[in-house]
Structures are given as C-alpha cells and as structure tokens.
Amino acid sequence: MADPQAIETHDTVVLEPNGFYDPSCWPGLDTAPYMQLPPGTRIRQQPIYGTDRQLIAPWDMQRVLRPGTLVIAQCSFVMWNWNNKSVTPSGNEHKYQLKLSRLDVVDYSMCEFESHMPVAATPSSSSYKYVTPPSAPPPQFGPPQKRRKLE
C-alpha cells in the first residue's frame, strides 16, 4: 500500500485521463522563485496522447509538442453571443472558443523544443544599454478634426 504522505514526483505519478496532480510532479516548479502557488493547487491532465496512444504528461508537453509536430485534434467550435450595448453600438458581441476534446500526435517533429524563460526570471543588467536606431523624424499631423457622432 502506498504511503498517503508520500510526495508525488514525475517519476512516481500514474497518468490518468482528466487526472489532477500535485505541483511537485512538475520538475523544477516547486523550486522556481517566481512560481508561488496557493495551497491546494493541482495540475490537470489534458487529453493529449503520443504516437504510442499513451497520455503525455503536462510537464512533457513542451518537449513533445514542438513546432512542426503533426497532430490530429478533435475539437468543437463554439460562438458566444452576448447582447451588450455598452460594448458595441449594435449591442451584439461575439466571442469564439475552440474546445479541445482530444489531441493525438501522429508524427513527432525533429526541431529543437522552444525554451522560454518567464519574464519574472529574466535577469536584468544595468550594464546593457539599449540604443534605438536613428529613424526619420515623427510625422507632423494637422489640427484635430471634428469627430462625427455614431448613430
């Protein structure tokens, strides 16, 4: 029987569809100074499967889903229509949502995976001076024109 007090890691966790995992499963997330997660935070397993039909862990998605990876996505497209006169004159505001039901990797990419450093962790240096390139003088605009009222 497993110890209920044991901390899950990316080596010991069992992947389940729509499962929730402790942030300690994500390598390096618990030691990142810019990631202060509230107690009770959980990571949700998305329905993303590799070529072997096994779930891809959330902490492996950046490595697996690289630019150029061929995937088949089962999605539904939803349009939300709100009547809100404060946003648009006609009162109709449309918002679109693409809901992913399942994503299957057909072929992996040979490209390097992208590694982005979060803005909060980007080191700043006062020794680097950004110099703007010389450009044309700013355009001169005439006096402001009277605006028409929308009907």
Domain ranges of the chain: 1-45, 47-110
What confidence score (pLDDT) does residue 120 get?
A: 47
Alpha-carbon gap, residue 89 to 41, rounded angstroms: 41
Alpha-carbon gap, residue 1 to 19, rounded angstroms: 20
What confidence score (pLDDT) does residue 111 get?
A: 83
Per-residue pLDDT of the chain (151 residues; tens, 9 = 90+): 445 556 666 667 888 888 888 887 877 776 666 667 788 888 888 999 999 999 998 888 888 888 889 999 999 999 988 777 666 667 678 889 999 999 999 998 888 877 655 544 444 444 545 455 556 555 565 665 555 555 5
Q: Rounded to two decimals, what is the model's pTM?
A: 0.58
What confidence score (pLDDT) does residue 14 get?
A: 85
Give long-range contacts, CB 8 A cutoff, 24+ apart: 120-123.
120/34, 121/32, 121/33, 121/34
Alpha-carbon gap, residue 109 to 67, rounded angstroms: 7
Check: CB of residue 46 under 8 Å from CB of residue 57.
no
What confidence score (pLDDT) does residue 77 get?
A: 93
What confidence score (pLDDT) does residue 47 get?
A: 92
